[in-house]
Chain A
Amino acid sequence: MNGVRGHARVWIASRWDSFGLPALISILLVTFSLLSSTFASGFNLLSNLAFSSLVGIGAIGMVFCIMSGDFDISVGSMSALAGVLGASLVGRIGGVGAVLVTVATATVCGFVNGVFVTKLKIPAFITTLGMQYVYRAIAYIYTSNTPVYIKDPFWLFLGSGTVLGIPFPIIITVVCFAAAVYVLRKTSFGRYVVAVGTNKTAAMLSGINVDFIKNMVFVLVGFFVGIATVVTASYLGSVNPGMTGQGYEFQVITVVVLGGTALTGGNGNMLGAFFASLFLTYLQNGLGLKQVNSYWQFVATGLVLIFAVGINRVKSALLGQREA
């Protein structure tokens, strides 16, 4: 391939990676602001920013996972299980402890998924499909199907509190994404994830322990789902074994893919996931405020996704890769 032309392509593609979605969001924001003053109110923008973090945080782990060439659709049930377990323990071990338990539980679930995938070589999709039933069922049985309420002030603050008028979830999100971006660019682990995702064999020949990396990636999925669960639980003031995390897996995957992470692995875009969560949130919010019939909202969201993935196709075509 001709280096110069290649380079021009990268130029375009890489600009799309970092500025494509932000541009779309800006357009979206401006349009809706012109259409509705309530949309443009600082409050509305902020509270939706906070709302977007519920999916955004969960998406972080999934970006790692999909970058490494795998997949986890058990995150919804995982979230329910971790949530009820943590919330139920507040009385005994206090808010901080309970929060830690929540995160730990989800992390362990992630680890279990990872073991099935790496050790038994069962495709991630199938494994997590099965575990999805298991985690949810355990959550039901453990609580005998009663919602668990979050009364603990510390925990409540995490999802509903504000610092200098900024909703705390936003701060958590910023920290998480910053950390994730850091891990991806500045740690050897981050490099290994990309390497494994883009070419397993080459990674193995470079002395990388592929199975270990893959397993760690699933642990990360669990970890961030755990954090997301903590925030969500406190945002809702309760955890419901049946409701919490319903459809969460597909929300998360949508955001990750919309963010420009290819399901073929290797090519990931961490901040893209963040912007995608913003984009979808503001899209829904705007349509809602304009009193658009919610049936049309389904159609709109679906079309946007197809469109966005289409664009990523073009991008990866420019970069000379293929999507599976």
Chain B
Amino acid sequence: MDGGVERLRTIQLTKTFPGVVAVDKVDFDVRPGEIHALVGENGAGKSTLIKILGGVYPPDGGQVVMDGREVVFSSTHESLASGISVIYQEFNLVPDLSVAENIFIGREPKTFGGTLVDFRKLNARAAEILATLEMPLDVKSYVSDISVAERQMVEIAKALSHDSRLIIMDEPTATLTEKEVRKIFEIVKNLRARGVAIIYISHRLEEAFELADRISVMRDGRKVDTRAIASTSKNDVIEMMVGKVVKEYFAEAGAREAPRQPLLEVRGYSVADAVEDISFTLHRGEILAFAGVLGSGVHGLLQSLFGVIPKKAGEVSFEGTPVHIDRPADAIRLGIGYVTEDRKNAGLLPAMSVLHNLTVIIIRALSFLRGLFIRDAAEMKSFAAIRARLDIKLAGPTQRIIFLSGGNQQKVLIGRTLLTDCKALILLEPTRGIDIGAKAEIHRILRELADKGLSIILTSSELPELVNLPDRCIVLYKGRKAAEFTRATMDSEKLVAAQIGHTGGARA
């Protein structure tokens, strides 16, 4: 292709983080009036790539060429200024400002010699933009009062108001209803018609195939290939996404004896805006995975099982007796552990030492007189035990948790739940943001725990984890059970297909 045609082109773009090459010599391009779908498993490097284009990260190597001129961004503003708008999953909107104000924040039209905001003009312009995109939205309503889809629209309108020539959308439809998705699609097509270049990231293949003109697949930081939608099939794409998944544990699988007695039984379980009528049984010593892309409701289901968010309907019985779990405390008392996917905001106790982070959950049990006197010896003992068992690398028990590597932090969080010697363990994204070495280690640990009789429920957005780790894997799509795999029937391509709602028979 000749350089003039592209809106944006990356040449040998590279970005490395300690332990990982997140983006590896990527050549990628998108043309005016083109929707270019970008797909790939989590950790494939998509988000790093768009963060580079958005001016969040400076690249370590390679160039970015916008409309034929090389550009270098040291800030998000510069990227915006040169005509690129990135719409991240977590929006950058101000809840207490109106839609119109958000669209034009920092660039409000002025009157009275630039002293006051000209709200008539502001609202008019905003309305105009929304109208051209046929967005049914009141420009005066507060962003805090509008739905996610509508916020999505505001972000798009904001991008247009910057008259950006390239709009990058990260999973725009992940949490939307079918109807809303339709609306967004119209808007995106509308954008294409106006000659805007669009990079469209999605986990839902059928969306990509409906919208995109071309599709690029990334895996392990590399771009596998770029193809015209017309000349490719979903199955090809899936194959490219999955690549060769090494199946370490499968050898051992045969050795493992089949079903044991049930531990946790869930019947007809529903959670508001998450899952509908889910039933499953978790057996002792079993690793059960729930697979599902953003918006599948997996996280909602698991959080609700631990009592973080309320359930709408359904029965849960633990060790054969029906139980009610309204608060995490209830779950912990029963012997259910939980490791959050949001280590920073919901897991770590940043002000505390590693020791205290570990033992906080059982500190009462580790002390005389209902918590009145902590037995240091006992505390150190349980600490030492966990440290040895998970082999956590740290300078000493009093070291602040925040100075541990991600992997070791994760081990501490797992260790915390183990201290309650729970019978069941719920893990969300157990290896998110952890380097390769630590990943394998945590997988090994989880497997050992299961072999020692602990039952594990986990969810992950990383394919190898779903393929290798669990004994069983249930796939949810838009809140409902889409497929179930045992070790015997496990097939990574089918798994991916099911996750992204592509039920048409992938080649077995």
Q: Which residues of A contact B361 (CB under 8 A)?
A: 206-207
Q: Which residues of B contact A189 (CB under 8 A)?
A: 371
Question: Complex Cα distance A197/B351, Å?
Answer: 9
> Would you give the shortest CB distance from B370 to chain A, in whole angstroms?
8
Closest A residue, CB atoms, query B401: A198
Closest B residue, CB atoms, query A186: B374
Looking at the complex, which one of A3, A204, A205, A209 makes contact with B404 (CB distance below 8 Å)? A3
Q: Which residues of B contact A186 (CB under 8 A)?
A: 373-374
Q: Which residues of B contact A321 (CB under 8 A)?
A: 350-351, 402
Interface pair A320/B338, CB less than 8 Å apart: no
Question: Complex Cα distance A1/B374, Å?
Answer: 31
Q: Is A267 in the interface zone, CB < 8 Å from B?
A: yes
Question: Complex Cα distance A260/B245, Å?
Answer: 52
> Would you give the shortest CB distance from A207 to chain B, in whole angstroms?
4
- Which of B338, B351, B361, B399 is packed against the most chain A CB atoms within 10 Å? B351
Given A205-B328, A266-B350, A320-B402, do A3 and B394 touch, yes or no (CB 8 Å)? yes
Q: Which residues of B contact A185 (CB under 8 A)?
A: 374
> Would you give the shortest CB distance from A63 to chain B, in whole angstroms?
14
Looking at the complex, which one of A1, A10, A188 makes contact with B367 (CB distance below 8 Å)? A188
Q: Is B123 in the interface zone, CB < 8 Å from A?
A: no
Q: Is A7 in the interface zone, CB < 8 Å from B?
A: yes
Interface pair A195/B374, CB less than 8 Å apart: no
Interface pair A188/B350, CB less than 8 Å apart: no
Question: Complex Cα distance A265/B404, Å?
Answer: 21
* Chain A residues numbered 273-324 whose CB sits less than 8 Å from any CB in chain B: 319-321
Given A187-B371, A187-B374, A207-B361, do A6 and B350 touch, yes or no (CB 8 Å)? no
Given A187-B372, A205-B328, A207-B329, do A194 and B347 touch, yes or no (CB 8 Å)? no
Interface pair A199/B350, CB less than 8 Å apart: yes
Interface pair A188/B356, CB less than 8 Å apart: no
Q: Is B395 in the interface zone, CB < 8 Å from A?
A: yes
Interface pair B373/A195, CB less than 8 Å apart: no
Interface pair A209/B349, CB less than 8 Å apart: no
Closest A residue, CB atoms, query B340: A205
Interface pair B352/A188, CB less than 8 Å apart: no
Number of residues from A at the complex interface, CB < 8 A: 33
Q: Is A191 in the interface zone, CB < 8 Å from B?
A: yes
Interface size on B, as a range, is 35 or more
Given A187-B374, A207-B361, do A3 and B351 touch, yes or no (CB 8 Å)? no
* Chain A residues numbered 1-27 whose CB sits less than 8 Å from any CB in chain B: 1, 3, 6-7, 9-10
Closest B residue, CB atoms, query A197: B351
Q: Is B346 in the interface zone, CB < 8 Å from A?
A: yes
Interface pair A194/B356, CB less than 8 Å apart: yes
Q: Is A202 in the interface zone, CB < 8 Å from B?
A: yes
Binary CB contact string for chain B from 329 to 352 against chain A (1 if under 8 A, 0 otherwise): 101110000101000011111111
Q: Which residues of A contact B328 (CB under 8 A)?
A: 204-207
Given A187-B367, A187-B371, A319-B400, do A3 and B395 touch, yes or no (CB 8 Å)? yes
Looking at the complex, which one of A10, A191, A194, A209 makes contact with B400 (CB distance below 8 Å)? A10
Looking at the complex, which one of B347, B364, B372, B403 makes contact with A205 (CB distance below 8 Å)? B347
Interface pair B351/A266, CB less than 8 Å apart: yes
Q: Is A174 in the interface zone, CB < 8 Å from B?
A: no
Binary CB contact string for chain B from 112 to 143 against chain A (1 if under 8 A, 0 otherwise): 00000000000000000000000000000000
Given A7-B395, A205-B338, A207-B329, do A199 and B404 touch, yes or no (CB 8 Å)? no
Interchain Cβ contacts under 8 Å between A and B, 5 examples: A191-B356, A198-B350, A202-B348, A207-B331, A319-B400
Q: Known pairs A206-B360, A206-B361, A320-B403. 15 more at Cβ < 8 A? A: A185-B374, A186-B373, A187-B371, A191-B360, A194-B349, A194-B356, A195-B349, A195-B352, A202-B340, A202-B346, A202-B349, A206-B416, A207-B329, A266-B350, A320-B402
Q: Point out residues on A near B: beta carbons under 8 Å.
A: 1, 3, 6-7, 9-10, 185-189, 191-192, 194-195, 197-199, 201-209, 265-267, 319-321
The 6 closest A-B CB pairs, nearest first, are A6-B403, A188-B371, A266-B351, A198-B351, A207-B329, A207-B332
Q: Point out residues on B near A: beta carbons under 8 Å.
A: 306, 308, 327-329, 331-333, 338, 340, 345-352, 356, 359-361, 363-364, 367, 371-374, 394-395, 399-400, 402-405, 416
